[in-house]
Structure 1
C-alpha cells in the first residue's frame, strides 16, 4: 500500500504541477499588474472592514475561516520538511510562491464571489465547483472537483493534521512525570500508539462540538482563535530571533546562497530547493489549490474584488509571517537536518530526529528550556485543529454542490462522522503515510483548480478593473455583472434587480468599464 501511495503521489506531484503553480502565479501577477503590490494598502483596509448577514459572514470572518485552512501543520512541520529535503534555499522559493500566489488567490477567490449562490437554507455557497459549472458550463468537471475535494478535505488531509497533533503531544509526554516511558504496552498496544489513539479521540470529540454547530459556529470560533494563535507563534519566533541575533545575518546568507545553488554545502540542491519550496509553499498557503475560495464565497460584500483583496492578504500573512517564523526558528538555532539528493546527510543539527515539528520544538527548547516542546505542541494543536475545522467546511460546501444545494441531512451526517473517524485514524497512523495521502489530496485539487482558473480568469480581471475604476471615482464599489458582460452571475444579477436597482444601504451603481476596455 505504501508503495502504491508513493507512486500515485509521484505522478500527481510531478514537475508539471510544480511549474504550473509557479507559472500561474507569474501569469496572474502580470495580468493583474502586480495587484499584490499596488493593492497592499487596500488589502489591509478591507480586511478590517465589512459586516456579516444572515446569509453570509463578514470579510474578517471569511479571512479567518480561510486562514484556519491555510495555517496548519504545513506552516511548522511542512516548512521543516522543505528545509530537510530541499535545503535552506527552499525557504526563498516558499517566499516566491507566497508573493506570486497572492495574485492567484485573488483570481480564484474573486471568481468564487462572482459565481456564488444560496443554498436551500439561504446561506452563501461557492467555490471552484460552482464557478467551473457556471463559467465553463462543464458539469462533469465541476463534479470531479467536488468529489476530489470531499475525498481530500473530508478523508485524506485531516489525518495529516491529527497525526501532527498526536506526535507533538507524545513528544512532550515522553519521559515526563505524567506519561513516563512510552516504550511499554498500554491496553495491548505500544504505549506511544495508545497515547496517540487517545489524543485522536479527544481531538475528534472537540471537532464534533464545532462542526455540528454549522458554518456560523465555525466562523465565530475561527475569528477568535486564528489571530490569537498566529500572533502568539510569530511573537515566539521573534523572541528566538532576538536571542540569536548574532546568527541572523548568516541565516539569510545561507538561505539566498542555497536558493541559487552557490552554497558550498547545499549548492547541488538547487532543483530540490525549488521543488520543495513550491510544493510546501502550495501546501502551506494553498494558493491555487481551490480551498480558499470556499470561505471567500461566504463573505458578505458589495463587490467580488473586495474578498479577492482580502484573500490575497491571507497569502502574505500565511507565508511571509507564519511560514517564515518557522523557518527562522530552526535556521537561527541550527536545529535541523538536511539530506542531499543521494540521501546522505549534508547537515545534522538534530541527529536521529525525523523531519517535522520536532525541529521547531528543539529550536524553542534550546533557547527556552522547559518551554519549547510544550509551546510548539500547543501551537500545533491550534494550527491543526482549526485546519481540520476548515477542511470540514470545504467538504460540506462541495457536498452541498453535489446535492444540488438541497438539504440531505443523512449525507451531511455521514460526512461529519467520516471526518471524525479519519481524525482518530490519522492520529494513530504512520506520519509518512499521512503526509503522502495529504499530498495526494492537495495535488488533485490543485491540478483541477489551476487548469480551471487559467481558463476562467477573465471575469476576475474585469471585476478588478471595475473595482479600481469605481475607487478612483470616489464611490463605494458595487458590482453589476451585466454591465461587464459576465454571464451566469445569477446571485449578483438578482441582487441588482432589487428595489431601485441597488442593494439596500449601498450607493447606486456606477456604470463600470465596458468589457472591451478592461
Structure 2
C-alpha cells in the first residue's frame, strides 16, 4: 500500500500530471526575468564574490565552506547514477534538458539562498541556522506551512535521501568488489556517524577538504576521455540536440521522455528550488556581509554541479560504446561506460568516485535536516541523539533496499519539498528584488555592499541582533 501511495503521488508530481516540471520551469523563468537574467549578466561576478570566502566567525561557517557543504549534498548520486538514469530512460536528449533546468535553476537557487541568509536565526549554540521553514515563518507568517515543509524535509533529507546515497555506494562496491550490501551499509553508517556528531562545523570542515579534491579529479578524468575521443564530439553534440527536440527516429515519445527525465534528474542533482541549499546558505557568515552575497555563492554551486559535473558524466557515457537499453539503469551504467574507456580500472574509479560523492551527500543531508530541529525546540542533546540514531538507521537500511523503492521515496520527498518552497519564494519575490537592488546600488557606488535593515523594505521580520538596523 505504501508503495502504491508513493507511486500515485509521484505520478501526479512527476508523471502524467507533471506539476513540478511546469512549476520548476515557471520558477526559473520567473526569477530569471525578475532579476534581469542575473545568472547571465553577472556570470563573471559570481566567481569574483568568492574572494575572501574563507573568512568565518564564531556564529557561522565561511562562504567557501557553505559552497562546499551545498556541493556535498548536490554532488552525489545525482551526478553519477542520476545522469545515467536520465540517459537510459530519456536518451541523450535528456542531457540538454538538464542544462536548461540548470541555467534557469541558477536564478531560482540565487533567490532561495538570499532568503535563507536573510531570515537566519541563532540556535542554542549561538550558531546560524535557517532554511525555507524559517523564511516561511518569519517572512510570510505561515507557521503551518513552515511545519509542513520541515516534515517533508525530514522525510527527504532526514531519512530517504541518505538511504538512497547509501544504496548507490553499496551497489557500486558490491558490483566491483563483491562486498555484501549490509556490510557496506554498516561501515557507511559508522563513518558518517563519526563526522555528523560534531554538527554543522564538523560537516563543513569535512566538505571543505573532500569536495574540491573529488570534483577536480572527476573533471580531469572527463577531460582525458574527451581528448581520447575528440573525433566523436561533433556527433555526440548533434545527437544530444536532435534527441532533445524529438528529431531522431523515436520521435515525439522520446521527446517527452527526454524532457521529463532531464528536468527531474537535473533538479535532483542541483536541487535548485527544492529548498535544501538555503540551509547551507543560512549557516554562513558572508563576505561581504549581505544576504545577496550567499545568493551568488550558491548560484555558482548550481553551475558547478550540473553544467560541469553532470556534463562530465554525460561525456563519459555518451562517448563510450555501451548500449543504452531504455530500461532504468543507475550507477552500473556509469561503471560500464568508464570500463569501456579504461578497462577494469574504470570500474574501480567509478566505485571510488561514487563512494566519495555519495558519502559527502550522506553527511551534508544530515546537516540540512538537523537545521530544522531548532524549529521544533529539539536542538538539545537528547533531540540530536534521537535524530542521529534514526538517521543512521535509515542509512544502514538503504544500503540493502531495492533501487526502485529508494528512488521512489526520494522523488516523492523532493517533489513535496519543492512544491512548498517554490510557492513560498514566489510570494517573497518583492523582498528578493529589493535585496538584490540594494546590493547592486552599493556595489556600483564603489563600496562593499554591507546590509542594513533600514536600507531595504522586506516582508515580515528578521530575528533580533542578526542584522544591524542603524
What TM-score bracket applies, with the shorter chain setting the length? Answer: over 0.9
Which secondary structure does the structure 1 equivalent of 2:412 belong to? helix
Following superposition, the deviation at residue 481 of structure 1 comes to 2.3
Paired residue secondary structure (1:479): coil
Contact 2:335 2:346 in 1 (8 A): yes
Give the corresponding residue for 2:283: 298
Give distance in 2, aligned partners of 1:319 and 1:205: 30
Pair 1:337 & 2:340 matched? no
Asked if 1:323 corresponds to 2:310, the answer is yes
- Residue 307 of structure 1 aligns with which residue? 294
Gaps in structure 1 of 5+ consecutive residues:
180-194, 340-344, 346-353, 502-518
Q: Does 1:239 align with 2:249?
A: no
Q: Is the 8 A contact 1:480 1:492 kept in 2?
A: no
Structure 1 position 33 matched with structure 2 position 36: yes
Whether the 8 Å CA contact 1:39–1:309 is kept in 2: the answer is: no
Cα drift, residue 467 of structure 1:
0.6
Q: Distance in 1 between matches of 2:441 and 2:404?
A: 50
CA distance in structure 1 between the aligned counterparts of 2:467 and 2:297, rounded to whole angstroms: 22
Residue 314 of structure 1 and its aligned partner are, at CA, apart by 0.5
Instruction: Pick one of 437, 445, 448 that aligns with 2:417.
Output: 445
**Structure 2 CA distance for aligned equivalents of residues 379 and 494 of structure 1:** 39
Query: What's the secondary structure of 2:292's corresponding residue?
Result: helix
More divergent stretch after superposition (43-52 vs 471-480):
43-52
Q: Would you say 1:47 and 2:50 are equivalent positions?
A: yes
- Given candidates 347, 361, 376, the residue that maps to 1:373 is 347
Query: What TM-score, normalized by structure 2, do the two folds share?
Result: 0.96
Q: Relative to 1, partners in 2 of residues 1:20 and 1:251: Cα closer, same or farther, differing over 3 Å?
A: same
CA distance in 2, matches of 1:392, 1:119: 16
Q: What does residue 187 of structure 1 align with?
A: none
Q: Secondary structure of the residue that 1:478 maps to in structure 2?
A: coil
Decide whether the 8 Å contact of 2:11 with 2:18 is kept in 1: no
* Cα distance in 2, alignment partners of residues 269 and 93 from structure 1: 13
Q: Distance in 1 between matches of 2:166 and 2:84?
A: 17
Q: 1:486: Cα distance to partner?
A: 1.6
Q: Are the counterparts in 2 of residues 48 and 59 from structure 1 also a CA contact under 8 Å?
A: no
Q: C-alpha separation between the residues in 2 aligned to 1:355 and 1:273?
A: 15
Partner of 2:184 in structure 1? 199
Q: 1:215·1:393 contact (CA, 8 Å) conserved in 2? A: yes
Q: 1:224 to 1:324 in 2, by over 3 A?
A: same
Separation in 2, partners of 1:161, 1:431: 11
CA contact (8 A) 2:452 2:467 kept: no
Query: 2: distance between equivalents of 1:421 and 1:234?
Result: 33
Say which SS state the counterpart of residue 57 (structure 1) adopts.
coil
Corresponding position: 1:263 with 2:266: no
Q: Does 1:385 align with 2:359?
A: yes
Give the Cα separation in 1 of the matches to 2:97 and 2:308: 15
- Cα distance in 2 for partners of 1:461, 1:336 equals 47
Q: CA deviation at 1:491?
A: 4.3
In the other structure, the counterpart of 2:5 is 4
CA distance in structure 2 between the partners assigned to 1:375 and 1:47 by the alignment: 30
Aligned to 2:77: 73
SS of 1:239 mapped into structure 2 = helix
The CA RMSD measured in Å over matched residues stands at 1.5
Counterparts of 1:324-473 in structure 2 under 5 Å?
Answer: 324-339=311-326, 355-403=329-377, 407-473=379-445
Distance, in Å, in 2 between the alignment partners of 1:63 and 1:154 is 20
3-state SS in 1 of match to 2:399: helix
In 1, the alpha carbon distance for the partners of 2:268 and 2:80 equals: 11
Q: What SS does structure 2 have at the residue aligned with 1:333?
A: coil
